[in-house]
Amino acid sequence: MKLKLTELGLSTFVSGYEHLNPGELQVLLQHFKIALTAYDDEGLGTTLFDQTKMSFMRGHTPRVVEYLCQQGFEIEWMDNNPARLENEFDDKPFAGEYRGLQQWAVTEMRKHYYGILQLATRFGKSYVYGGWYVESGRPRTLILVPREAIAKQMQSELGEFLGEPVGIIAKSTGIKDDWRQLTIAIDKSMFDKDGKLRRGREKYLNWIEAVIRDECHNFGTLGNDLYLHLPRMIYSWGGSATPFTGDNVKDFRIEGLTGPVRAKAGAKLLSEYGLVAALKCYWVKHYHDPLMDDTWHVIYHNAIVNNHKRNQTIVDICKQHALDQMQGVVFVDRVEHGEILASLIPDSKFVSSQVVTPKQADKIKEQFNNREFPTVITTKKWREGVTFYADYAVNAEGMRADHVTIQKAGRPIMPRTDGRMVLWYDFWDQGLKQLEAQSEQRMQCMRSEGWEQEVVND
C-alpha cells in the first residue's frame, strides 16, 4: 500500500488511505498509534496522532516513515511548505566570526527544515543560531528562551555578532517590545496570565518563518500553544546541551515540535579542540542513616540541607582549595542550604534571587571572576547564561535532572592556557534509595559526556 505524507506548517498530513475498507483502515490507524504513542513511568500512553485530521506533528515524520516502511508500506514523503517571503533586508555577511565547530553545526542544521541541536555548554549555540539565520537568507526568526537573563545576554551577543539590531519581547520583565527580523522572546511573555496570546502578538507571529527554542528541555506549561499561532512557520529548531528530560511523554512532545537530533557535540569533544577545559569528576561516597519518613521533603531537608557531615565535607573541599589559591562554585537548590554553607565557608558569597538583587549578583560575579574572593554559592539563578572563571565546582544539591547537571558542570569549564582540568565534586549518596538512584543517574550523565571519574570517601 502506498501512503503520502505531506508536511505543512507544524503538521504532517496523511493521504492515500481513502479507498480502504473499515478493517484495513483500523489496521492502518493502529500502526500510526504504535508509532506515535509515548508512555509515562506508570505505563500510561499518550498518542500524538490526530485521527480526525489524519495528522501529527511533523517532527515525528522520520520516525513514522521508518516504522511504516518496516511494516511494508510504500511512503511518498514530500514537503509542501509555502515559498519563503520576500526578504526586505540586504543579504550581507555577519560582523563576527565562527569559532571551533560552529560552521559545522550550521551546515548540519541547513540540511533540514527542523531538528534538535544537542551541543555542549560553551559550544556557543546562540552564534550557531545567528549563523544559520544569515546563511538561510535571514528568514523572519523568533528565538524562544526561558528567562530574562538569557534573553538579554543573547540579544547583546547576537547584535554584536550579526552587526544588526536584534529585537526582544519580554513583557513580563518590563522590557519594551521590540520586533525585528530576528527577535528573542521569553516564551511565557507571549501570553497573559490566563494563557491567552497577548494583544499585538498575533499580527507579528503571522509572518514568522523560523522558530528556534533555546534550552528546549524547558518545555513549559504552555507547551506547543505558541506554535499553533505560526501559520507560515517553515523552520523549527531546538537547542540544548541535554534536550531530553527523562519524561518520555515530555520528550516525545519536544521531538514533535523540533524534530530529531541533527547535530550533536559533547563537552569532551570540545575539550579536544581546546574550546573548553577538560573536567575530572570526583564522586564522594556518603553513607546516610535510615529515615523513618521517606517523603521527599523530609529526605531532602534531613539528608541534604541539614546533613552536618555532608555539609562539612563540602566546607572542607572549599577550605582546602582556597589554601591552594583555587576558586570554586558550589551549587545548591534551597536558599536555606546556601545560607548554611555560606555561614561555614570563609570568605564566601551566596547568590540567589531571594537574597540579592540582579545588580548585586552582577557585582558578585565580576568580583569572583577578578579573583577577589575564593568561593561563590549559587542557586539555579546562575545555572545558565553565566560564565565562571573557576578551578572547581561542587554539586551540593544532588537531584536527578541530567540537563541540570550538564548545565552546572559547563559553567566553569573555560579554556585553560596551562591545560589544567577543572575539578567537579558530586556525591554518590548511599543508604537512601531515592538519593542513591539520583546519584547514579548523574554519574551516567557524566559518563555519557566521556569525562574521567574517580570515587572517593568523605
Query: What is the rounded distance in angstroms from the CA atom of residue 271 to the CA atom of residue 123?
Result: 10
More confident residue, 64 or 445: 64
Q: Does 241 score more than 60 pLDDT?
A: yes
pLDDT value of residue 380: 78
Phi, psi dihedrals of residue 154, rounded to the nearest 5°: -65, -40
Helix (H, G, I), strand (E, B) or coil at 447: helix
Contact yes or no for 39/45 (Cβ under 8 A):
yes
Residue 133 lies in a domain: yes
Contact yes or no for 185/143 (Cβ under 8 A):
yes
Its pTM stands at 0.77
Residue 126 lies in a domain: yes
- Give the pLDDT band (50/70/90) at residue 88: low
pLDDT value of residue 142: 96
**Sign of torsion over alpha carbons 287, 293, 297, 298:** negative
> Dihedral (C-alpha) 309, 311, 314, 318: value to the nearest 10 degrees?
-110
Same domain flag for 148 and 236: yes
* Count of the separate structural domains present in the chain: 3
Q: Does 89 score more than 70 pLDDT?
A: no
Query: What is the rounded distance in angstroms from the CA atom of residue 267 to the CA atom of residue 412?
Result: 12
pLDDT value of residue 189: 85
Query: In the chain, what percentage of residues exceed pLDDT 90?
Result: 52
Residue 139 lies in a domain: yes
- Give the pLDDT band (50/70/90) at residue 385: low
Same domain flag for 203 and 345: no
Mean pLDDT value of segment 388-395: 90
More confident residue, 188 or 15: 15
Q: Does 174 score more than 70 pLDDT?
A: no
- DSSP track, 173-188: GTPPPB--SEEEEEGG
- Domain carrying residue 150: 102-265
According to DSSP, residue 280 is labeled E
- Give the pLDDT band (50/70/90) at residue 418: confident
CATH number at residue 13: 3.30.780
Query: What is the rounded distance in angstroms from the CA atom of residue 393 to the CA atom of residue 231?
Result: 45
Phi, psi dihedrals of residue 42, rounded to the nearest 5°: -95, 5
Query: In the chain, what percentage of residues exceed pLDDT 70?
Result: 93
Same domain flag for 180 and 319: no
140-149, 369-378, 440-449: segment of lowest average pLDDT? 440-449
Helix (H, G, I), strand (E, B) or coil at 79: strand
pLDDT value of residue 83: 63
Same domain flag for 163 and 227: yes
User: pLDDT, tens digit, for every residue of 118-157?
Assistant: 988 778 889 999 999 999 889 999 999 988 878 888 999 9
The domain boundary, picked from 249, 265, 281, lies at 265
Same domain flag for 212 and 281: no
CATH number at residue 139: 3.40.50.300
Same domain flag for 257 and 276: no
Grid cell 500553544 — which residue?
A: 225
Q: Which helix (H) or strand (E) is 439 found in, with range?
A: helix 433-449
Q: Tell me the residue length of the chain.
A: 458
Q: Does 87 score more than 70 pLDDT?
A: no
**Which set of grid coordinates corresponds to residue 156?**
547583546
Mean pLDDT of the chain: 88
User: pLDDT, tens digit, for every residue of 2-14?
Assistant: 999 998 888 999 9
Nearest to 382 by CA among 415, 360, 352: 352
Q: Does 287 score more than 60 pLDDT?
A: yes
Residue 371 lies in a domain: yes
User: pLDDT, tens digit, for every residue of 301-324?
Assistant: 999 999 999 999 999 999 999 999
Same domain flag for 219 and 122: yes
User: pLDDT, tens digit, for every residue of 24-40?
Assistant: 999 999 999 999 998 88
Same domain flag for 237 and 258: yes
Phi, psi dihedrals of residue 70, rounded to the nearest 5°: -65, -25
Same domain flag for 305 and 429: yes
Same domain flag for 239 and 336: no
Contact yes or no for 56/68 (Cβ under 8 A):
no
Query: What is the rounded distance in angstroms from the CA atom of residue 178 to the CA atom of residue 185?
Result: 10
Query: What is the rounded distance in angstroms from the CA atom of residue 381 to the CA atom of residue 329?
Result: 13
Same domain flag for 257 and 375: no
For 397-421, what is the HEC assignment? CCCCCHHHHHHHHHCCCCCCCCCCC
Q: Does 377 score more than 80 pLDDT?
A: yes
The domain boundary, picked from 265, 290, 312, lies at 265
E strand segments, 206-255: 210-214, 235-240
Grid cell 509542501 — which residue?
A: 80
**Spacing of C-alpha 46 from chain mean position:** 23
283-287, 398-402, 420-424: segment of lowest average pLDDT? 398-402
pLDDT value of residue 54: 95
The domain boundary, picked from 265, 292, 310, lies at 265
Contact yes or no for 121/241 (Cβ under 8 A):
yes
Q: In Å, how far are 21, 435, 441 from 447, measured between CA atoms?
A: 52, 18, 10
How many helices, marked H, and strands, marked E, lie in the chain? 14, 21
Same domain flag for 177 and 291: no
Q: Does 427 score more than 60 pLDDT?
A: yes
